[in-house]
Structures are given as structure tokens and as C-alpha cells.
């Protein structure tokens, strides 16, 4: 195991900030969806949600390249190159004249974000393994959660003083700051003697090793379903607050409360995962989410909840969804990457790309099914979480490294 390049706390904080590039790029856009719909797609307002999923799609596509490139050239150069692409695409999105141009820029911006997203996982795997890697990821997610808590409010403030396009300039500033922190403080974790070539035969062989592992593929499938749930809720949450409950103005405050409450999941997971194991934590999380989603769907379909109770019930359910994500994503990544430490960059790329692209494919129809009520979202999450639970229950009980 390589020497740890930074004090533990600073390393966790830096990883969390790099991960937060993704959260900031998605969540700061949420208050802008009505303005984007009114300006660029007034005849099909649900299409404004694609500003979120197009970014995620680009991130998934870029993930295929980021890991192998980091195996060849090192972790830091790839993250910094991704940041440069991200910044250029943010400037293009700021100037986009049509929805199509905006979506194209968002795809490229997502490709740039794939560097910070996937290579930070490889950096963690360079230094940690098994349950300790899951602990580091859980703590990094605590930093990550602070960004969703404030990002919609930041977006709303920017819209109030300028317009929705100025949010993209905030993305530029954020990426410049996080990139400078990485460049100045974090030594390279993948030294030249451990770097691998980009020869097609080697890449195909490593990819075949990843896809040929039943453990890796099962947990990648579960991760895909988890991302599908998360992206669907993110896409639909602002329209639900606005149309279903008439709370567009207070949405950033409610979203901040949800993010902060659900952010405790990372603390709980970090405290328990070393003792209980990753698989048990994932099983418990999905079991709870299936039960809560079934209750929410039944209560909404049958009209059991009155108007006054429906909104707090939705707040509790949404918090549970994000809490579940905090309890599962880090564990599922660690479970999937555990057998692949010798090709961590490519393995994290393959797992991240497959799960992200499939997650978008799951999320888009659920989000676009919005009919003015949260029922389609409840049903979509119920079905997706149920399938994830089945897959985890039938998965091999892989050995979990605890040190």
C-alpha cells in the first residue's frame, strides 16, 4: 500500500470537494429549470429535466476513458485535464442559444467532470482497500453532502442577481478552486513504475477481467439501479415541489434540510461499515427503501393522505431516498472494486461508466413520467429498489478486507 500523501482529514476533504463537482453541477441547476423551460422549451416543460441527465450521460461516457488514461499518465494530470474540459464546456453552456446547444454543452461538461468523478475513486483505491476504502468514501461523502445542501440556494441567489446562465460561471470558479487545491497539495498516488500502457490488447484484457467477474457485474448492476433512483429523484424533485405542492420559492431551503438530514447516512455508514460489513449495510438500506416506497405509493394512489399530510410525507420519503444513497453508493463501489485493485483505474472507469449510463437510462423515463403528482416517482423507485434488493440478496458473499 502506498504512503498516504496528505493528512487523513485533508485527503478526505479534498476527495469530497472533487466529488462535489458533480453535485454542484446538478443541484445548482434545480432552481433554474422553470426559467430554462420558459426560455428554451416552453412547449414541453418536462424537457428541461434533460439539462440534468445530459450532464450525467456525458459523465458516464467520459468515465470509460478517464480511468485507463489515469492508469497510463497518472491520476492528477487526468483530473486536471478533465477540469479544463469542464470549464470550457461551462462557458459554452453559458452562451448556448438553444436547448439543443445547451444539452450538447452539458454532455461535454459531464465528460470533463468524469475526471474528478472516477479518478478520485482510483486515488482512494491506490491508498486504501476493502472496508477502510468504504470508510474513506463515507467520510468524503459527508463533505460532498454539504454541497447539495447549499447548491440550490446558490443557484437561486445567482438567478436573483443575474440570470440562470450565470450559474455556469459559478461552475468555472468552483472547478478552478478545486483544481488548484489538487495541483498544489496532493502528490501523485500512481507512480510511474506502476503505470500501464494503453495497448488495445491490454485494455481489452483488463476489461474482459472486469466484465467476467460475477461479483463486479452484480454490484455494478445494483449501483446502476441506485443511480437510477438518485437521478430520477433529482430530476423530478423541483417539478414536484413546484407543481404538486406549490413550494417553488421555498424549494432551496427544503432541499438543504433534506440534504443535511440525509447526509448523516455517511456518518452512520462510516461508523458501522467496518464492524458490520458492506453487504449487510446495503441490504438493510434497500429493505427500508422498498418498504417506505411501497407505503408512499399506496397512500398516494388511495388518497389516504390529505393535502396537509402529503407534503411532510414526501419530505420524509425524499430524505429516505438520499439517506439510502449515502448508505449504499460508497459500499457498492468498494464491493465492486475490491477484486480489481491491480487495475483500479480501468475497473473504476468500467464500473462508473456502466452504472452511470444505465442509471440515466433508468432515470429519464421515470422523471419524464411526471404527471403533476409524485405517484410515478414513488412507483419507479419502488420497482427499481425492489430489483436492487433481489440482486444483492442473490449476490456472492465476497470476502471484505477490513484493513
Instruction: Please determine, for residue 216, whether its predicted confidence score (pLDDT) is greater than 90.
Output: no
Residues 16-43: tens digit of each pLDDT? 889 889 889 999 999 999 999 999 999 8
Say what the pLDDT of residue 340 is: 74
pLDDT tens readout for residues 118-176: 788 778 878 887 777 777 777 776 666 678 788 999 999 999 999 999 999 999 999 99
Residues 90/169, Cβ–Cβ less than 8 Å: yes
Q: Which helix (H) or strand (E) holds 386?
A: helix 375-393
Select from 387, 249, 259, 371 the least CA-distant residue to 323.
259
- The pLDDT, as a whole number, for residue 350 is 81
DSSP state of 245: T
- Could you please state the CATH topology (level 3) that the domain comprising 8-393 is classified under: Growth Hormone; Chain: A; (1.20.1250)
Task: Give the count of alpha carbons within 13 A of 323, CB side only.
Answer: 21
Over residues 350-363, mean pLDDT: 89
Going from N- to C-terminal start, the domains of the chain cover 8-393
**In contact, 103 and 51? CB cutoff 8 Å:** yes
- What is residue 192's DSSP assignment? G
Cα–Cα distance between 351 and 222 in angstroms, integer?
A: 11
User: Which set of grid coordinates corresponds to residue 139?
Assistant: 467520510
Distance of CA 281 to the CA centre of its chain: 19
d(CA 279, CA 14): 27
How many residues belong to the chain?
403
The average confidence (pLDDT) of the chain is: 87
Inform me whether the pLDDT recorded for 63 exceeds 60: yes
* pTM tops 0.85: no
Task: Answer with the residue of higher pLDDT: 264 or 219.
Answer: 219
Show the cell assigned to 49: 429535466
Handedness of CA 221, 230, 244, 309 (dihedral sign): positive
Amino acid at each position: 500500500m502506498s504512503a498516504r500523501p496528505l493528512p487523513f482529514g485533508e485527503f478526505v476533504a479534498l476527495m469530497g470537494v472533487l466529488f462535489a463537482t458533480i453535485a454542484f453541477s446538478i443541484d445548482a441547476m434545480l432552481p433554474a429549470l422553470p426559467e430554462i423551460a420558459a426560455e428554451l422549451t416552453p412547449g414541453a416543460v418536462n424537457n428541461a429535466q434533460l439539462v440534468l441527465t445530459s450532464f450525467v450521460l456525458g459523465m458516464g461516457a467520459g468515465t470509460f476513458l478517464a480511468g485507463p488514461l489515469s492508469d497510463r499518465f497518472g491520476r492528477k494530470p487526468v483530473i486536471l485535464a478533465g477540469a479544463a474540459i469542464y470549464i470550457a464546456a461551462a462557458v459554452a453552456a453559458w452562451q448556448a442559444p438553444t436547448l439543443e446547444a445547451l444539452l450538447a454543452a452539458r454532455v461535454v461538461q459531464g465528460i470533463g467532470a468524469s475526471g474528478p468523478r472516477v479518478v478520485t475513486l482510483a486515488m482512494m483505491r491506490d491508498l486504501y482497500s476493502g472496508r477502510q476504502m468504504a470508510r474513506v468514501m463515507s467520510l468524503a461523502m459527508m463533505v460532498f453532502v454539504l454541497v447539495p445542501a447549499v447548491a440550490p440556494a446558490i443557484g437561486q441567489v445567482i438567478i436573483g442577481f443575474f440570470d440562470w446562465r450565470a450559474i455556469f460561471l459559478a461552475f468555472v470558479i468552483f472547478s478552478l478552486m478545486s483544481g488548484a487545491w489538487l495541483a498544489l497539495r496532493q502528490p501523485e498516488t500512481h507512480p510511474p513504475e506502476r503505470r500501464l500502457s494503453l495497448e488495445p490488447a491490454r485494455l481489452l484484457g483488463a476489461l474482459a477481467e472486469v466484465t467476467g467477474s460475477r461479483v463486479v457485474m452484480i454490484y455494478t448492476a445494483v449501483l446502476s439501479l441506485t443511480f437510477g433512483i438518485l437521478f430520477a429523484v433529482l430530476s423530478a424533485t423541483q417539478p414536484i415541489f413546484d407543481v404538486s405542492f406549490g413550494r417553488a420559492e421555498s424549494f432551496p431551503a427544503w432541499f438543504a434540510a433534506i440534504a443535511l438530514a440525509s447526509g448523516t447516512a455517511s456518518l452512520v455508514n462510516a461508523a458501522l461499515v467496518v464492524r458490520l460489513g458492506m453487504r449487510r449495510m446495503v441490504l438493510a438500506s434497500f429493505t427500508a427503501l422498498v418498504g417506505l416506497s411501497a407505503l408512499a405509493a399506496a397512500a398516494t394512489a388511495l388518497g389516504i393522505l390529505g393535502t396537509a399530510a402529503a407534503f411532510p410525507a414526501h419530505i420524509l420519503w425524499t430524505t429516505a431516498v438520499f439517506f439510502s444513497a449515502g448508505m449504499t453508493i460508497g459500499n457498492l463501489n468498494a464491493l465492486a472494486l475490491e477484486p480489481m485493485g491491480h487495475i483500479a483505474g480501468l475497473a473504476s472507469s468500467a464500473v462508473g461508466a456502466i452504472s452511470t449510463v444505465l442509471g440515466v437510462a433508468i432515470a429519464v423515463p421515470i422523471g419524464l413520467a411526471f404527471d403533476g403528482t409524485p405517484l410515478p416517482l414513488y412507483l419507479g423507485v419502488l420497482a427499481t429498489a425492489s430489483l436492487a434488493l433481489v440482486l444483492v440478496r442473490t449476490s456472492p458473499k465476497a470476502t471484505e478486507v477490513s484493513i
